[in-house]
């Protein structure tokens, strides 16, 4: 694809990036993060103000206690309640304000993180739909699914608790440090010294955990892929008794995952007690430095208490911040991969200046078209083909002859490497996608049903269709009868992957879909393979009326389908080797004539 | 997915004991270590009190050094105990998680196909990954800390009260609203947590469908339509998450407010008490220092409570699958077939989905069919007449709901599943390949087969293309490998069924994706295998029917006629309707012009 090996999704499985590559990936994720936060600027500002005020309010506590003991007590001895009442009232006020603001901030930050997630979910989903089939065929569904599920989950975790922990923790430490500086600068100096081992420990932890976190993501993805594969192929699993073998394989993947998890946890098992140790030693030193001065009469007792309380509190959020680092690491790895997917350019891009085509006549034309997969061998060598509006063309040839590729060029699942495919004289690449999809519809052999009712599934052809239109479409393709026989008729839920609807019935539903869509050009790629003969006959009859006023390209292995064509194209090794009316070709001595003869034989 | 009354949090989490049992001794030790750490932390203020009331007002500076040394020692001990707690618990926690994950996988593989028909795989996946992660974290961390925090709070309160009962009581009284609010919080958060986790699973399903159905969405340009649906679901989830955040904000408010109010009141009252002489400054210092140590256990309560509720919900979701009773299991004392002949008999076999409304007749409504050893039986019928369901009965992918299916005179339910499925091999219309090499995929049913067997199977299925793949038979295919065309997949799936060398072959429209030339080649090769193997083949085409010795005609879940192709063509109008080719349709009445051979 591109020269740099880390652009887009390439290099996703590597963990040996060079410095330049790492920088490239990191800046890509940061750009993504920035663009996600951009629209939330106003909320972010409010959030930051709220958190600054609330943290300051929380930090005031020990200073007020010191004030109450050192100033309130002596004043009270002189029957002056004022300083103590002030300290008590201030403590109460900071408590109420602090708590209320923290509660507010909790909701606010949830709003922000949920907005980011929704935006990101939308973007990845949209991008998944936008990327061409070529991408999907090489990237595989399991990976794109884990981008949208487990990777998004780790970003959610970061946003949910991680950011709160970081902002609150960092601010808390800054404020505690400042308060300490105000109460007793010498203790603040001690605290400053303690930052040195703290920084060393944290850096060590960072370096060690970085690689392990990447491994965690890979290991969990492996578990997910195996799991999904087993569940979607459960019939074959059972029929071939692979349960035990699968258990072994899955067990190994789970064990790998467990081990990397354990490694992460072990790192925390060192880091976290290390933090506590540094904190407690610092408390002792502060106590010594302060205690000696109290002993000498240079420091008030209340101030000593405040200093000790502050020092202890200073280290409290460190653990939260380590948690942040935990979620940050996995989220960063996830973000790297997601930003890679988002960076992918669809090989079939939407036009910059789309041309509208309100009503299409259905005139399809290939001019000097050649097709090859990116940098790979040529599938379709240069050819020209003109399909006048209204013509029904049958594509015939053995597997791998290039029939489906040709069909995919017309439906713009792929773009030609050179030359152009046009509809009514407009290059498909500059046609407005909406108009393109309205004008050209392709029905494939694999008739996928989405969860929802049968009616929902037919309505995919025309989302605003009335119920009457839906039943009319079903009737036209002969699907009405079996649908009526389902437990809830058109409102029957088709369940997981149409589990209870037979393959033939699925194809009928997908036919009804295409019928409802009413396109100017209809492409049928082996769309009748699973139908029983009476159904096929119904579809065939329906096709004869359906195709009367539109262009059709039909790929079929069956002679019956070819019979209704105006024109037959025989393909071989990517080339069109015969082109003519069925009658002419049968009368001749070419491949089609031979093929036709063997078909007739097979019908006996 | 029925919803019985939700069990209590304790009862739900208690069920984890079965899995946590091996880790429990270490968890107990960890709780003790953690509790000791808390006690050590609580002891530090005591030293402070002694320091302030004693050495600091005295004259012996070495006592100051001594008490600081004591604080240091306690601090080091606390760090050591925390390290001990982490090292004790967290690794066994991962073992429990792995064990639960393997058990779930095992259970899911064993559960019948009917279960999988009902459950979207996204919902299963979110249980296997997210929920189990959550449970592990709760068990190793949340559970331990929750217990230790509660004990620390009790001990801390006792210390506070014993330091000064008036000041202590202020804290005790202040905790009452927290407890009340905590109860309300548990209810509110539980509901939202459950809803959130389910919505998460739904969203995962939506994502899966949008990826698996990408061709349809693209062909109809319905990407934006799917996006709208997805957005609605994502927004619903967002709403639930915000509801959870509001609940957490509510409890946070109380957890922060209450100690602060108590501190403020205690400050005024404490200083007043010190002034009146009923308390010392050291006592005050100790009181506030102790209060500060307790601050973290109090404030983190909300977090751990939420985590506990999330863990409860995750546990319930886990057991929803684990509790599912597997109806298709090995018999208690399995029979065995000594010399497999391959005689397959359906006797008055009935089948219906459990949840289908009673007004509907059985999907299979009394099937009587005998397939003699070595015989090939074609199954012909309209789409939806029950052919595929019938093919799922012999291997017990579904169990009959009435009547029986027997192999060589033994009811299939009396055979061990492994033995049964070794006797009968299947090829499905939608050919599933796994992420493995071609070789592994083909030899799925008989891993110990020789190279010659493998090549023969590929030959019969006309899957020689496999030799020309980038790495030949060692090319990885399936989800994580090379993607093959529908026809190629179907041929490999057929090769797989053939390679298993079963005594009975069950093929569900195995040639539908093949072009005519390939189909003819496969049929010719398949004839050799079928000569000696019992077979049941779902057929839509006369060409496939020609492989069979006899044909069974299915109509609305019943077998209405059995005979040879020619017999049925001659005698059965429905059969002619179902099988007679379109290509002779120009002759409007298929019956008399059909070329019957």
Chain A residue numbers touching B395 (CB-CB < 8 A): 238-239
Residue in the structure block whose two tokens are 């005591």: B46
On whether the CB atoms of residues B271 and A69 are closer than 8 A, the answer is yes
Which phi-psi region, left, alpha or beta, contains residue A389 (left: φ > 0; alpha: ψ -120 to 50)? beta
Band (pLDDT 50/70/90 cuts) for residue A388 is very high
Strands (E), B209-357: 344-351
Chain B residue numbers touching A304 (CB-CB < 8 A): 52, 285
Chain A residue numbers touching B250 (CB-CB < 8 A): 103
- Residue of A436, A526, A559 with shortest CB distance to B583: A559
Q: Are strands B504-508 and B534-538 parallel, antiparallel or unpaired?
A: parallel
Which phi-psi region, left, alpha or beta, contains residue B221 (left: φ > 0; alpha: ψ -120 to 50)? left
Full DSSP string of A90-145: HHHHHHHHHHHHHHHHHHHHHHHHHHHHHHHHHHHHHHHHHS-HHHHHHH-HHHHH
Residue A471: is its pLDDT beyond 90? yes
Nearest Cα of chain B lies from the Cα of A175 at a distance, in angstroms, of 17
The residue of A149, A445, A446 whose CB has the most chain B CBs within 10 angstroms, and thus the best one to mutate to test that interface, is A149
For residue A451 the two structure tokens come to: 């969860």
- % of residues, chain A, pLDDT over 90: 13
User: CA quadruple B574, B576, B578, B584: dihedral positive or negative?
Assistant: negative
On whether the CB atoms of residues B303 and B162 are closer than 8 A, the answer is no
First-to-last alpha carbon distance for chain B, in angstroms, is 54
Q: In terms of C-beta density within 10 A (0-12 exposed, 13-18 middle, 19 or more buried), how is residue B478 classed?
A: buried
pLDDT value of residue A11? 65
On whether the CB atoms of residues B71 and B50 are closer than 8 A, the answer is no
Task: Test B80 with A273 for CB contact under 8 angstroms.
Answer: yes
Residue A3: is its pLDDT beyond 50? no
Query: Pseudo-torsion of CA A319, A321, A322, A327, nearest 10°?
Result: 130
Of all residues in chain A, the one with the smallest CA distance to B238 is: A114
Task: Test A88 with B265 for CB contact under 8 angstroms.
Answer: yes
Please tell me the distance from the alpha carbon of residue A156 to that of residue B245, in angstroms, as a whole number. 13
- Residue of A266, A284, A442 with shortest CB distance to B75: A284
Contacts of B384 (CB under 8 A, 6+ apart): A482, A485, A502, A504, A505
Task: Test B61 with A292 for CB contact under 8 angstroms.
Answer: yes
For residue A299 the two structure tokens come to: 């420091």
Helices (H), A3-40: 19-37
Task: Test B64 with A292 for CB contact under 8 angstroms.
Answer: yes
Consecutive 10-residue averages of pLDDT for chain B (597 residues): 59 86 86 88 82 76 84 89 84 87 92 84 83 87 86 87 86 81 84 86 84 82 82 92 89 85 84 81 81 80 85 90 89 90 93 78 90 93 85 91 93 91 84 84 86 90 87 80 76 89 87 77 86 89 86 92 91 86 42 37
Strands (E), A285-423: 364-372, 378-387, 392-396, 418-423
Please tell me the distance from the alpha carbon of residue B424 to that of residue B408, in angstroms, as a whole number. 12
- Residue of A103, A411, A540 with shortest CB distance to B250: A103
Contacts of B521 (CB under 8 A, 6+ apart): B462
Of all residues in chain B, the one with the smallest CA distance to A260 is: B94
Task: Test B216 with A100 for CB contact under 8 angstroms.
Answer: no
Instruction: Report residue B411: phi and psi, to 5°.
Output: -55, 130
Task: Test B68 with A87 for CB contact under 8 angstroms.
Answer: no
Nearest Cα of chain B lies from the Cα of A287 at a distance, in angstroms, of 7
A569 SS3 class = strand
Using one digit for the tens of pLDDT, what is the confidence trace for B65-115?
888 888 899 889 988 998 888 888 777 888 889 999 999 999 998 898 888
Task: Test A288 with B98 for CB contact under 8 angstroms.
Answer: no
User: What is the set of domains in chain B, with CATH numbers?
Assistant: 10-322 (1.20.1560.10), 344-593 (3.40.50.300)
The residue of B193, B220, B520 whose CB has the most chain A CBs within 10 angstroms, and thus the best one to mutate to test that interface, is B220
Task: Test B242 with A111 for CB contact under 8 angstroms.
Answer: yes
A396 SS3 class = strand
Please tell me the distance from the alpha carbon of residue B43 to that of residue B37, in angstroms, as a whole number. 10
pLDDT value of residue B411? 94
Nearest Cα of chain B lies from the Cα of A415 at a distance, in angstroms, of 14
- % of residues, chain A, pLDDT over 70: 94
Please tell me the distance from the alpha carbon of residue B44 to that of residue B73, in angstroms, as a whole number. 10
- According to DSSP, residue A493 is labeled B
The residue of A399, A478, A521 whose CB has the most chain B CBs within 10 angstroms, and thus the best one to mutate to test that interface, is A399
Please tell me the distance from the alpha carbon of residue A256 to that of residue B216, in angstroms, as a whole number. 37
Contacts of B38 (CB under 8 A, 6+ apart): B148, B151, B152, B155, B297
Full DSSP string of B409-442: TEEGGGB-HHHHHHHEEEE-SS----SEEHHHHH
b/e per residue A421-435 (b: at least 16 CB within 10 A)? bbbbebbbbebbbeb
Of all residues in chain A, the one with the smallest CA distance to B279 is: A73
* β-bridge mates for residue B554, sequence order: B381, B559
- Residue of B125, B281, B577 with shortest CB distance to A534: B577
Nearest Cα of chain A lies from the Cα of B140 at a distance, in angstroms, of 11
Task: Test A255 with B98 for CB contact under 8 angstroms.
Answer: yes
Of all residues in chain B, the one with the smallest CA distance to A400 is: B485
b/e per residue B404-418 (b: at least 16 CB within 10 A)? bbbbbebebbbbebe
Residue A498: is its pLDDT beyond 50? no
Using one digit for the tens of pLDDT, what is the confidence trace for A193-221?
988 998 898 888 878 877 787 788 788 88
pLDDT value of residue B82? 87
- Residue of A107, A122, A450 with shortest CB distance to B213: A450
The residue of B72, B218, B445 whose CB has the most chain A CBs within 10 angstroms, and thus the best one to mutate to test that interface, is B218
Instruction: Kindly provide the ipTM of the predicted complex, given to two decimals.
Output: 0.84
Contacts of B56 (CB under 8 A, 6+ apart): A291, A294, A295, A301, B64
Chain A residue numbers touching B422 (CB-CB < 8 A): 241
Of all residues in chain A, the one with the smallest CA distance to B391 is: A239
- Residue of B55, B101, B480 with shortest CB distance to A225: B480
Please tell me the distance from the alpha carbon of residue A446 to that of residue A437, in angstroms, as a whole number. 19
- According to DSSP, residue B335 is labeled B
Of all residues in chain A, the one with the smallest CA distance to B580 is: A533
Task: Test A99 with B102 for CB contact under 8 angstroms.
Answer: no
Nearest Cα of chain B lies from the Cα of A484 at a distance, in angstroms, of 12
On whether the CB atoms of residues B507 and B500 are closer than 8 A, the answer is no
Of all residues in chain A, the one with the smallest CA distance to B85 is: A269
Full DSSP string of B499-516: HT--SEEEEESTTTTS-H
Give the DSSP H/E element, type plus range, for residue B536: strand B534-538
CATH superfamily membership of A20-343: ABC transporter type 1, transmembrane domain (1.20.1560.10)
Please tell me the distance from the alpha carbon of residue B101 to that of residue A230, in angstroms, as a whole number. 14
On whether the CB atoms of residues B550 and B378 are closer than 8 A, the answer is yes
Residue A60: is its pLDDT beyond 90? no
The residue of A58, A90, A103, A409 whose CB has the most chain B CBs within 10 angstroms, and thus the best one to mutate to test that interface, is A103
Fold of the domain built from segment(s) A364-602? Rossmann fold (3.40.50)
pLDDT value of residue A280? 87
pLDDT value of residue B286? 82
In angstroms and rounded to an integer, the radius of gyration of the C-alpha atoms of chain A is: 35
Of all residues in chain A, the one with the smallest CA distance to B398 is: A235
Task: Test A69 with B128 for CB contact under 8 angstroms.
Answer: no
Domain ranges of chain A: 20-343, 364-602
Residue A323: is its pLDDT beyond 70? no
- Residue of A76, A268, A499 with shortest CB distance to B117: A499
Please tell me the distance from the alpha carbon of residue A399 to that of residue B491, in angstroms, as a whole number. 12
Please tell me the distance from the alpha carbon of residue A403 to that of residue A386, in angstroms, as a whole number. 16
In total, the C-beta contacts within 8 angstroms joining chain A to chain B are 520
Strands (E), A418-566: 418-423, 426-427, 440-444, 521-525, 551-555
Task: Test A482 with B384 for CB contact under 8 angstroms.
Answer: yes
- Rounded (5°) CA angle B43-B45-B46: 65
Chain A residue numbers touching B273 (CB-CB < 8 A): none
Using one digit for the tens of pLDDT, what is the confidence trace for A23-33?
888 888 888 88
pLDDT value of residue B590? 36
């Amino acid at each position: 694809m591109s020269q740099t090996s880390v652009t887009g999704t390439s290099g996703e499985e590597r963990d040996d990036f060079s410095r330049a590559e790492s920088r490239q990936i990191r800046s890509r994720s940061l750009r993504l993060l920035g663009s996600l936060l951009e629209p939330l600027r106003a909320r972010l500002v409010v959030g930051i103000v709220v958190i600054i005020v609330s943290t300051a309010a929380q930090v005031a506590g020990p200073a007020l206690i010191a004030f109450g003991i050192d100033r309130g007590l002596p004043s009270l001895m002189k029957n002056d309640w004022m300083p103590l009442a002030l300290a008590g009232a201030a403590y109460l006020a900071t408590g109420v304000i602090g708590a209320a603001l923290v509660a507010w901030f909790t909701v606010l930050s949830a709003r922000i993180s949920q907005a980011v997630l929704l935006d990101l979910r939308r973007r990845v989903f949209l991008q998944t739909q936008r990327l061409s089939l070529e991408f999907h065929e090489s990237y595989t569904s399991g990976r794109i699914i884990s981008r949208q599920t487990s990777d998004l989950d780790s970003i959610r975790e970061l946003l949910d608790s991680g950011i709160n922990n970081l902002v609150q923790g960092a601010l808390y430490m800054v404020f505690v440090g400042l308060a300490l500086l105000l109460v007793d600068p010498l203790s603040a100096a001690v605290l400053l010294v303690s930052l040195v081992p703290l920084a060393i420990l944290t850096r060590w932890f960072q370096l060690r955990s970085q690689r392990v976190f990447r491994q965690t993501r890979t290991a969990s993805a492996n578990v997910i892929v195996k799991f999904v594969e087993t569940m979607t192929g459960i019939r074959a699993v059972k029929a071939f008794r692979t349960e035990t073998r699968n258990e072994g394989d899955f067990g190994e993947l789970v064990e790998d995952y467990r081990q990397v998890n354990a490694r992460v946890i072990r790192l925390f098992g060192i880091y976290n007690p290390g933090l506590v140790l540094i904190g407690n030693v610092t408390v002792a030193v502060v106590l010594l430095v302060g205690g000696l001065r109290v002993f000498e009469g240079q420091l008030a007792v209340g101030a000593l208490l405040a200093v000790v309380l502050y020092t202890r509190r200073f280290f409290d959020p460190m653990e939260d911040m380590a948690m942040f680092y935990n979620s940050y690491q996995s989220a960063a790895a996830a973000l790297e991969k997601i930003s890679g997917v988002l960076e992918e350019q669809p090989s079939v891009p939407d036009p910059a200046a789309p041309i509208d085509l309100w009503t299409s006549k259905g005139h399809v034309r290939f001019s000097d078209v050649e097709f090859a997969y990116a940098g790979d061998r040529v599938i379709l060598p240069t050819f020209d083909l003109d399909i006048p509006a209204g013509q029904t063309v049958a594509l015939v040839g053995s597997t791998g002859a290039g029939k489906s590729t040709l069909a995919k060029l017309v439906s713009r699942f792929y773009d030609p490497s050179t030359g152009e495919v046009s509809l009514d004289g407009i290059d498909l690449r500059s046609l407005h996608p909406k108009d393109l999809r309205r004008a050209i519809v392709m029905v494939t052999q694999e008739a996928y049903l989405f969860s929802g009712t049968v009616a929902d599934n037919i309505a995919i052809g025309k989302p605003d269709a009335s119920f009457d239109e839906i039943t009319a479409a079903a009737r036209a393709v002969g699907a009405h009868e079996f649908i009526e026989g389902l437990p809830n008729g058109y409102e029957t839920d088709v369940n997981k992957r149409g589990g209870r609807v037979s393959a033939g019935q699925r194809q009928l539903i997908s036919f009804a879909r295409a019928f409802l869509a009413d396109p100017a050009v209809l492409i049928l790629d082996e769309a009748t393979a699973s139908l029983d003969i009476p159904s096929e006959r119904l579809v065939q009859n329906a096709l004869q009326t359906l195709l009367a006023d539109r262009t059709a390209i039909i790929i079929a292995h069956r002679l019956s389908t070819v019979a209704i064509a105006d024109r037959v194209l025989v393909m071989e090794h990517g080339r069109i080797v015969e082109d003519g009316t069925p009658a002419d070709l049968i009368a001749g001595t070419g491949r089609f004539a031979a093929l036709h003869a063997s078909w007739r034989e097979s019908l006996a | 997915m029925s919803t019985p009354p939700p069990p209590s949090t304790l009862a739900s989490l208690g069920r984890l004991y079965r899995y946590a049992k091996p880790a429990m001794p270490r968890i107990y030790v960890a709780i003790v270590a953690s509790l000791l750490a808390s006690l050590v932390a609580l002891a530090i203020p005591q030293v402070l009190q002694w320091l302030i009331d004693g050495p600091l007002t005295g004259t012996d500076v070495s006592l100051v050094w001594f008490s600081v040394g004591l604080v240091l020692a306690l601090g080091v001990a606390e760090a050591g105990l925390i390290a001990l707690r982490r090292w004790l618990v967290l690794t066994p926690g991962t073992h429990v998680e792995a064990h639960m994950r393997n058990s779930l996988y095992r259970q899911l593989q064993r559960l019948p196909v009917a279960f999988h028909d009902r459950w979207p795989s996204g919902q299963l996946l979110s249980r296997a990954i997210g929920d189990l992660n959550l449970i592990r974290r709760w068990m190793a961390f949340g559970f331990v800390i929750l217990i230790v925090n509660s004990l620390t709070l009790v001990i801390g309160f006792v210390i506070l009260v014993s330091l000064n009962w008036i000041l202590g009581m202020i804290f005790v009284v202040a905790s009452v609203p927290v407890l009340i609010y905590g109860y309300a919080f548990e209810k509110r958060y539980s509901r939202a947590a459950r809803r959130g986790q389910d919505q998460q699973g739904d969203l995962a399903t939506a994502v899966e469908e949008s990826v698996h159905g990408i061709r349809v969405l693209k062909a109809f340009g319905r990407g934006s339509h799917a996006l709208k649906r997805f957005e609605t679901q994502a927004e619903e989830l967002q709403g639930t998450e915000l509801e959870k955040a509001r609940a957490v904000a509510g409890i946070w408010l109380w957890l922060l407010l209450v100690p602060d109010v108590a501190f403020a009141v205690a400050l005024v009252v404490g200083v007043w008490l010190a002034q009146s002489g009923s308390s010392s400054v050291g006592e005050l210092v100790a009181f506030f220092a102790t209060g500060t140590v307790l601050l973290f256990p109090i404030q983190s309560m909300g977090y751990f409570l939420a985590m506990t509720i999330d863990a409860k919900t995750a546990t319930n979701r886990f057991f929803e699958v684990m509790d599912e009773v597997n109806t298709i299991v090995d018999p208690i004392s399995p029979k065995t077939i000594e010399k497999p002949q391959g005689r397959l008999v359906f006797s008055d076999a009935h089948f219906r989905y459990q949840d289908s409304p009673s007004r509907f007749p059985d999907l299979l409504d009394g099937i009587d069919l005998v397939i003699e050893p070595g015989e090939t039986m074609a199954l012909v019928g309209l789409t939806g007449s029950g052919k595929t369901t019938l093919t799922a009965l012999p291997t017990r992918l579904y169990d009959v709901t009435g009547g029986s299916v027997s192999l060589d005179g033994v009811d299939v339910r009396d055979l061990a599943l492994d033995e049964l499925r070794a006797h009968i091999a299947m090829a499905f219309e939608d050919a599933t390949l796994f992420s493995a090499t071609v070789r592994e995929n083909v030899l799925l049913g008989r891993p110990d087969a020789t190279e010659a067997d493998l090549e023969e199977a590929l030959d019969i299925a006309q899957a020689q293309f496999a030799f020309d793949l980038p790495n030949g038979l060692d090319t990885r295919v399936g989800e994580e490998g090379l993607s093959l065309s529908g026809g190629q997949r179907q041929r490999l799936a057929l090769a797989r069924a053939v390679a298993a060398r079963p005594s009975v072959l069950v093929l569900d429209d195995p040639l539908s994706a093949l072009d005519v030339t390939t189909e003819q080649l496969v049929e010719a090769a398949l004839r050799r295998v079928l000569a000696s193997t019992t077979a049941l083949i779902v057929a839509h085409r006369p060409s496939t029917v020609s492989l069979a010795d006899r044909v069974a005609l299915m109509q609305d879940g019943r077998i209405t006629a059995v005979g040879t192709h020619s017999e049925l063509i001659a005698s059965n109008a429905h059969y002619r309707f179902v099988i007679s080719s379109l290509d002779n349709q120009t002759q409007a009445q298929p019956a008399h012009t059909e070329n019957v051979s």
